[in-house]
Chains A and B, each alone.
Chain A
Amino acid sequence: DSGVTQTPKHLITATGQRVTLRCSPRSGDLSVYWYQQSLDQGLQFLIQYYNGEERAKGNILERFSAQQFPDLHSELNLSSLELGDSALYFCASSAWDTTGELFFGEGSRLTVL
């Protein structure tokens, strides 16, 4: 058990809909990272937050947004969903801003029909 909790584990929805994925980091970790893993693109970095502030941005679509709350949990919002958004979405946490071991959640599997 990594100590990182992601909900929901599975989610099935329709095109055009909006979903929210939630991540609770390991106790004491200030950084939260979001990643997407799809069959054709592999693992891709989406965005990082550190202590409530956005720190780094990767290949995140404009239809996607994220935030980190004062209690350090984070949410990834995906809107106007398309078939191609079907993927595993991972959250990871680490203690520090720029370095440190990463602890991964078990992922949220999103299926868009």
Chain B
Amino acid sequence: KNEVEQSPQNLTAQEGEFITINCSYSVGISALHWLQQHPGGGIVSLFMLSSGKKKHGRLIATINIQEKHSSLHITASDPRDSAVYICAVMEYGNKLVFGAGTILRVKS
């Protein structure tokens, strides 16, 4: 079993839809990161969370430390949101463990 599980693996949405990507992990962590990777490879950090909830524009990230679960929400999705979204957890000892990623396609 992977230490970091993401779901769904693939997601196709219509423009304007509300999207949720889930991440579950099985180890103790100091922080959780949500990353975005566009075709062509570049990785952008969206959020770093150790508790609660963060919001940036149309993106919202939440984490429940007790349940070892995090969600990334995209409100009013846009075709420009099409990318791979990766959940990564920072274990104690600075080891960052990545989920397999969720491939999101938003159709106009």
Interface positions of A (Cβ within 8 A of B): 2, 33, 35, 37, 42-45, 48, 55-56, 58, 88, 90, 92, 97-104, 106-107, 109
* In the A-B complex, the 10 residue pairs with the closest CB atoms: A56-B94, A43-B98, A104-B43, A45-B96, A101-B48, A102-B45, A106-B42, A107-B41, A48-B94, A58-B95
B45 touches A103 (CB 8 A): yes
B30 touches A98 (CB 8 A): yes
Which DSSP category, helix, strand, loop or mixed, fits chain A's interface?
strand
Interface size on B, residues (CB 8 A): 22
Counting CB contacts under 8 A, is B27 at the interface? Answer: no
Shortest C-beta distance, A100 to chain B (Å), equals: 7
Residues on the A chain within 8 Å of B60, using CB: none
* Contacting residue for B44 out of A35, A37, A104, CB 8 A: A104
Shortest C-beta distance, A80 to chain B (Å), equals: 25
Residues on the B chain within 8 Å of A2, using CB: 44
B42 touches A42 (CB 8 A): no
- Provide the bound-state CA to CA distance between A106 and B48, in Å: 19
- Provide the bound-state CA to CA distance between A34 and B35, in Å: 16
What 1/0 mask marks residues of chain B from 2 to 39 whose CB sits below 8 Å from any chain A CB?
Answer: 00000000000000000000000000001101010000
A-B CB contact pairs (8 Å), 23 listed: A2-B44, A33-B96, A35-B96, A42-B98, A42-B100, A43-B86, A43-B88, A43-B98, A44-B98, A45-B98, A55-B94, A58-B96, A97-B94, A98-B94, A99-B50, A101-B48, A102-B96, A103-B45, A104-B35, A104-B43, A106-B42, A107-B42, A109-B41
